[in-house]
Amino acid sequence: MLRVTDLGRMRYREALALQREAHARVLADMTVMGEVLLVEHDPPVITLGRRSESRSHLVAAPDRLAALGVEVEESDRGGDITWHGPGQLVAYPILALDRLRLRIHPYMRLLEQVVIDLIADLGVEGDRDPSATGVWVGSRKICAMGVRVSRWVTTHGLALNVDPDLASFELIVPCGLHGRPVTSLRREVEAKGGTPPPMTVVKNSLVNHLERHLQQARTPSH
């Protein structure tokens, strides 16, 4: 079992500090597989990944961001630019990959599968794009991902659009992908005539699918 901490709504910098504390704990305790932090970032924040072109994909002017109360933060994760805010579930798995028999690329595919399985439970068909990490519904991105691995322990993770203000993504070129719209779980479920689940249900489902896939990864195949 993973230790799961629900941070509720929290500023990005504060959650980043808690990630780093969790990273140190996982490194120090060889008996644990890791921890998971769940959060909705509030106030909203735009984070810039390590790609050199990330800042060029910020299209909103500073005065507009200030008027909207949107912060901008540099990040040490992989990937490009993204937005986080209320209605978006951000999961930060702090995992010891070596103890889980995982390497980086299989870990990214595992995270994608967790989200694909989660939204499938709600009747939404998600898929991968070989050229763009994350989870897609048709041509629409529903979940962005970006991680960092230090001493084989991960930080950062995934951001699933449950019910955010999708207009917020107009402030950026999401993940640096021009012409690729974003969507939300609410929008896709309602388009099929369903009722979107509350955030608490989505959180529980994500943790359950993550634990199941990590257990499968640890189990040697015969």
**Catalytic residue (one of 22, 94, 175, 206):** 175
Does the annotation count 175 as an active-site position?
yes
State how far the Cα of 36 lies from the Cα of 4, in Å rounded to an integer: 5
CB 157 within 8 A of CB 107: no
Tokens 């509720």 belong to 8
Q: Return all residues near 145 (Cβ < 8 A) that are at least 6 apart.
A: 79, 108, 111, 112, 133, 134, 157, 158, 159
Tokens 């909705």 belong to 40
State how far the Cα of 162 lies from the Cα of 142, in Å rounded to an integer: 8
Helix (H, G, I), strand (E, B) or coil at 85: coil
The residues carrying an active-site annotation are 175
